Amino acid sequence: MEIKKIFVATPIGKDGSKERIHSDAMFNQVFESLEKELDCKFIRIDEQPGIGIVSEKIYKGIEEADVVIADTKWRNPNVFYEIGLAHALNKPVILMNPKEKKLPFDLAHF
């Protein structure tokens, strides 16, 4: 059976930033621990090897993914762009959003 690829759209932020600390914790404490259990591979673009144009790596990562998980906590424009790209490529998208924050109107029904 082929391992499922799950692209994680999350703000990366600079080292030590709130966004980076949150993204690293989610990736290292939640997603990585689920990989064996779910027989999948979580992909975060900054952890992908190689050089190249970031937007091209994002497109390829989403295109090759079976599912996209998007962390909308920080209202990061790049994450919303990646959600739109995933929708355009007909990829299933799981939105991670804090209960206390409303999603933008165009995404609220997903």
* DSSP character string of 18-75: HHHHHHHHIIIIIIHHHHHHHTEEEE-GGGS-S-S-HHHHHHHHHHH-SEEEEE-TT-
pTM score, whole prediction: 0.91
Give per-residue pLDDT as tens, 29-71.
Answer: 999 889 989 999 999 988 877 778 888 999 999 999 999 999 9
Give per-residue pLDDT as tens, 1-18.
Answer: 688 999 999 998 899 999
Query: Could you give the maximum distance between any two Cα atoms of the chain, in Å?
Result: 39
Structure tokens at 94: 């799981």
Give the whole-angstrom CA distance, residue 14 versus residue 12: 7
Q: For tokens 């190249």, what's the residue? A: 52
CATH 3.40.50.450 fits 4-96, yes or no: yes
Q: How many CB atoms lie within 10 A of CB 19?
A: 17
Count of residues for the chain?
Answer: 110
Model confidence at 22: pLDDT above 80: yes
Structure tokens at 58: 């994002």
Q: Which of 85, 73, 19, 77 is nearest to 46 (CA)?
A: 19
Determine the pLDDT at residue 50: 75
